């Protein structure tokens, strides 16, 4: 195979001595519930193939389409391989190469000057470009703690649902994913596992083959919805109404596990009273689905109680990106307790398993480096507004410097018009650590080349299974790229930080992730270690809530002046409420991208084609739109162009703007987030990407089909 000449094969001494010469075990770093175990084949210091590890049961030797092409991403001709300094106007993406030494000393002196005025004017911005515990918030967090920089509230994905689960079940805890294979009823709720949780889908298919009933709850007829026995295409943001109506039916037919309710739940009389206000007819009108579908689902769920069969819910974050997302997650989290589904190992609910990992955050992040300071917190979901704010007593200092790693906010954060305006500020000093020149990187003052997963150490928790994984480097860093940890280590030296924790190696950090709670030798030997957890964690209650019970009523929420019970909280932008913007838009993940990662990998972008808007035929016909038409999607916040597809995947009144394209690779230099808002969720201060009203207008008709 021919490789770009600038890739110098690694000298043998650069590789850790305990690596096998041919195959190296690693972990997929991406923000995906599956956290696969990888096997990378290396020849002469070059990675030639990345495969799924057949010895890891959850991976089963299979990777998704994206990561099976990992070498294409790693050796991409546009990989950033040397530090760059801006030469053109802000945002122009024009850079010249500089040495690491020049870049780090200039960055350090700029940050030192800002910190002398107020360190809170410096803001870190990161998310889950890598989910690694070490290349994520370890050395970086130490650096920002020592500096006294603003803290970042990492809300962009999961905080509404996470908070809903924490209030109800006590944390991000739930069923073990493998036991879905034994369930008799599987409700896939706000999730498209064929696209985004492939290895869960393997277990679900096993159950389906064994006769389980499958129901999908999703406004979009996704690849997954198509494969289920029933698809409930509710309006976005109406899930709590549906869940409350299911409770109503369970109560009125007495499909209730009274013993479980009495011994292991808190607030049942109050929840019962709330649910009785939600007859299925009321929910059907809110969700705009046939009332029969709600009754039938309640019957299926109730029959599992009657017949002592396990019923399982796979909930995903797709349903909590609306104003009432936290309440909706709470309502769904209550359901298993009503029928005592938790008694079975194949019953209950799973949103995320991440709360089950014993990560020693303090050992990684060293909060004591704050030395008693309590910096303000910036919410990453409102970075657009926050970059445009002046200093004020409420807000604190104007943001003067932003250090971005593991994230592409210009593409992924809501209301990108404002985000771009903020990043374009001439008086903002921006450093971006990246693999590629993303939309965000275009706005950097310094662009620093980071290593990929094939080039560095890391340890991974998962959020869709309960195995910890170790990632060993398979190849030496390409070009002058450095791990995030190393960049922050060297930056610390240039800032004059002498604390000994800045000299911890990546291997030391890997060992610190779980301390003695996970056997590190097992990780070294096998690449993964299964957490020792009970099969049916809540069969006898024992929820990690303050009361030890499933908390239908949350005293903690009530104490904050919030509703102690889950309820339906309507969207900020309720479908049907605006004549100007009559359509609701959701923007779920595209199957061949991972958020905005992989958009620049040509073979994957070719499969996705162009930015796409799926429309129901009624909505399209009313606007003279056909498949292939170029349309303008717009609202009060902005507009973007896409190719329309008249599609059975869209329900009437809802359009699906598939995510998340790089702006500069789109049709008009914008993407779907040009339209999304910076409103927040009811719990967790999360973003509301799927709570967004728009209108669509034909720009150019579809080309006539060519005669064959």
Answer for which of 15, 39, 67, 194 binds ligand SF4 (CB under 6 A) is 67
Q: Which does 198 bind (CB under 5 to 8 A by kind): Mo ion, ligand SF4, ligand MGD, none?
A: ligand SF4
Q: Of 265 and 316, which has the nearer Cβ to ligand MGD?
A: 316
H helices within 276-324, ranges in order?
280-287, 291-306
Whether 50 contacts 39, CB under 8 Å: yes
Q: What is the C-alpha separation between 440 and 416, in angstroms, rounded?
A: 11
Q: Measured from the CB of residue 127, what is the shortest distance to Mo ion in angstroms?
A: 8
Residues 6+ apart with CB under 8 A from 462: 33, 34, 35, 58, 353, 354, 357, 468, 469
Whether 586 contacts 657, CB under 8 Å: yes
Beta strands in 398-522 (DSSP E): 401-405, 429-434, 446-449, 458-460, 467-471
Residue nearest to Mo ion (CB): 157
Three-state secondary structure call for residue 451: coil
# binding residues, ligand SF4 (CB under 6 A)? 12
> Which residues are near ligand MGD by CB under 6 A?
31-32, 127-130, 135, 156-157, 189-192, 195-197, 217-220, 222, 236-237, 239, 316-319, 322, 405-408, 411-412, 433-436, 438, 450, 484, 586-589, 591, 593-597, 659-660, 672-673, 676, 689-690
* Interface mask toward ligand SF4 for 27-46; x: CB under 6 A: -x-x-x-xxx----------
Q: Of 193 and 280, which has the nearer Cβ to ligand SF4?
A: 193
Q: Measured from the CB of residue 477, what is the shortest distance to ligand MGD in angstroms?
A: 11
> Is 604 an interacting residue with respect to ligand SF4 (CB under 6 A)?
no
Residues 6+ apart with CB under 8 A from 16: 472, 473
- Token pair for 383: 């970075």
Q: Measured from the CB of residue 584, what is the shortest distance to ligand MGD in angstroms?
A: 9
Q: Of 138 and 545, which has the nearer Cβ to ligand MGD?
A: 138
CB atoms within 10 A of CB 433: 28
Q: Which does 433 bind (CB under 5 to 8 A by kind): Mo ion, ligand MGD, ligand SF4, none?
A: ligand MGD
In degrees to the nearest 10, what's the CA dihedral of 257, 258, 259, 261?
Answer: 90
Whether 501 contacts 72, CB under 8 Å: no
**H-helix or E-strand spanning residue 213:** strand 213-217
Q: Of 466 and 526, which has the nearer Cβ to ligand MGD?
A: 466
* Interface mask toward Mo ion for 107-146; x: CB under 5 A: ----------------------------------------
Q: What is the C-alpha separation between 632 and 200, in angstroms, rounded?
A: 36
> Is 66 an interacting residue with respect to ligand SF4 (CB under 6 A)?
yes
- Token pair for 63: 């990777």
Q: Of 127 and 553, which has the nearer Cβ to ligand MGD?
A: 127
Region binding Mo ion by CB under 5 A among candidate stretches 152-160, 213-221, 275-283, 526-534: 152-160
> Is 64 an interacting residue with respect to ligand SF4 (CB under 6 A)?
yes
Phi and psi at 246, nearest 5°, equal -60, -45
> Is 644 an interacting residue with respect to ligand SF4 (CB under 6 A)?
no
Whether 473 contacts 457, CB under 8 Å: yes
Q: What is the C-alpha separation between 450 and 454, in angstroms, rounded?
A: 11
Residues 6+ apart with CB under 8 A from 304: 184, 185, 310, 311, 339, 341, 347
Q: Which does 318 bind (CB under 5 to 8 A by kind): Mo ion, ligand SF4, ligand MGD, none?
A: ligand MGD
Answer for which of 36, 157, 364, 444 binds Mo ion (CB under 5 A) is 157
Q: Of 261 and 660, which has the nearer Cβ to ligand MGD?
A: 660
Q: Measured from the CB of residue 484, what is the shortest distance to ligand MGD in angstroms?
A: 5
Q: What is the C-alpha separation between 113 and 100, in angstroms, rounded?
A: 20
Q: Which does 63 bind (CB under 5 to 8 A by kind): ligand SF4, ligand MGD, Mo ion, none?
A: ligand SF4
* Interface mask toward ligand SF4 for 544-583; x: CB under 6 A: ----------------------------------------
Q: Of 193 and 310, which has the nearer Cβ to ligand SF4?
A: 193
Burial, 114: exposed, middle or buried (Cβ in 10 Å; 0-12, 13-18, 19+)?
A: buried
Q: Measured from the CB of residue 158, what is the shortest distance to Mo ion in angstroms?
A: 6
Q: Measured from the CB of residue 665, what is the shortest distance to ligand MGD in angstroms?
A: 13
Q: Of 23 and 578, which has the nearer Cβ to ligand SF4?
A: 23
**H-helix or E-strand spanning residue 153:** strand 151-153
Region binding Mo ion by CB under 5 A among candidate stretches 40-48, 156-164, 244-252, 528-536: 156-164
Whether 550 contacts 337, CB under 8 Å: yes
Choose among 577, 638, 583, 592: nearest CA to 615: 583
Q: Which does 584 bind (CB under 5 to 8 A by kind): ligand MGD, ligand SF4, Mo ion, none?
A: none
Query: Which chain residues interact with Mo ion by CB under 5 A?
Result: 157
């Amino acid at each position: 195979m021919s490789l770009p000449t600038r890739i110098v094969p690694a000298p043998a001494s650069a590789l850790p001595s305990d690596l096998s010469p041919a195959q190296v075990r690693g972990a997929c770093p991406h923000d995906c519930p599956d956290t696969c175990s990888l096997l990378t084949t290396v020849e002469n210091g070059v990675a030639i193939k990345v495969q799924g590890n057949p010895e890891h049961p959850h991976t089963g030797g299979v990777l998704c389409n994206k990561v099976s092409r990992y070498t294409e991403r790693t050796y991409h001709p546009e990989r950033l391989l040397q530090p760059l300094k801006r030469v053109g106007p802000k945002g122009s993406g024009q850079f010249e190469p500089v040495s690491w030494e020049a870049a780090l000393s200039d960055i350090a002196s700029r940050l030192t000057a800002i910190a002398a005025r107020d360190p809170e004017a410096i803001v870190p911005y990161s998310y889950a470009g890598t989910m690694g515990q070490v290349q994520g918030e370890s050395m970086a967090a130490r650096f920002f703690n020592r500096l006294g920089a603003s803290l970042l509230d990492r809300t962009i994905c999961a905080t509404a649902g996470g908070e809903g689960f924490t209030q109800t079940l006590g944390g991000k805890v739930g069923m073990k994913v493998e036991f879905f294979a034994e369930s008799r009823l599987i409700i896939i709720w706000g999730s498209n596992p064929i696209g985004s949780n492939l290895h869960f889908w393997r277990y679900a298919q096993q159950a389906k083959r064994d006769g389980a009933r499958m129901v999908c709850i999703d406004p979009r007829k996704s690849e997954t919805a198509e494969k289920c026995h029933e698809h409930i295409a509710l309006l976005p943001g109406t899930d709590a109404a549906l869940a409350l109506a299911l409770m109503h039916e369970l109560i009125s037919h007495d499909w209730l596990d009274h013993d479980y309710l009495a011994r292991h739940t808190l607030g049942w009389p109050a929840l019962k009273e709330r649910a009785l206000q939600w007859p299925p007819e009321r929910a059907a009108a809110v969700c705009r689905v046939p009332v029969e579908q709600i009754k039938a689902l309640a019957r299926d769920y109730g029959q599992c109680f009657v017949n002592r069969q396990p019923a399982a819910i796979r909930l995903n974050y797709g349903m909590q990106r609306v104003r009432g997302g936290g309440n909706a997650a709470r309502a769904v989290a209550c359901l298993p307790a009503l029928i005592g589904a938790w008694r079975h190992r194949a019953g209950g609910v799973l949103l995320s398993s991440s709360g089950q990992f014993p990560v020693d955050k303090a050992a990684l992040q060293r909060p004591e480096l704050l030395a008693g300071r309590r910096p303000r917190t910036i919410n990453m979901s409102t970075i657009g507004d926050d970059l445009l704010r002046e200093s004020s007593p409420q807000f604190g200092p104007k943001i003067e410097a932003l250090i971005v790693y593991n994230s592409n906010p210009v593409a992924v954060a809501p209301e990108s018009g404002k985000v771009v305006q903020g990043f374009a500020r001439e008086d903002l000093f921006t450093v971006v650590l990246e693999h590629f020149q993303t939309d965000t990187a275009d706005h950097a003052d310094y662009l620093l080349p980071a290593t990929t997963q094939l080039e560095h150490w890391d340890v991974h928790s998962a959020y869709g299974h309960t195995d910890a994984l170790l990632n060993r480097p398979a190849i030496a860093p390409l070009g002058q790229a450095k791990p995030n940890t190393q960049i922050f280590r060297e930056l610390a030296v240039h800032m004059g930080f002498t604390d000994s924790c800045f000299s911890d190696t990546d291997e030391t950090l890997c060992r610190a992730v779980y301390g003695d709670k996970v056997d590190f030798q097992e990780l070294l030997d096998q690449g993964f270690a299964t957490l020792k957890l009970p099969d049916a964690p809540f069969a006898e209650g024992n929820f990690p809530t303050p009361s030890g019970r499933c908390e239908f009523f949350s005293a903690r929420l009530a104490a904050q002046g919030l509703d102690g019970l889950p309820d339906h909280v309507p969207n900020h932008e309720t479908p049907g409420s605006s004549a100007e913007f009559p359509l609701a838009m959701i923007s779920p993940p595209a199957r061949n991208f991972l958020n905005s990662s992989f958009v620049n990998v040509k073979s994957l972008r070719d499969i996705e084609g162009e930015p796409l808007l799926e429309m129901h035929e009624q909505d399209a016909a009313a606007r003279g739109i056909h498949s292939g038409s170029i349309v303008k999607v717009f609202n009060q916040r902005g507009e973007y162009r896409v190719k329309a597809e008249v599609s059975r995947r869209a329900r009437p009144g809802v359009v699906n703007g598939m995510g998340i394209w790089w702006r500069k690779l789109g049709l008009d230099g914008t993407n779907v987030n040009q339209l999304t808002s910076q409103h927040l969720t009811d719990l967790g201060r999360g973003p509301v990407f799927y709570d967004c009203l728009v209108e669509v207008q034909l720009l150019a008709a579809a080309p006539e089909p060519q005669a064959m």
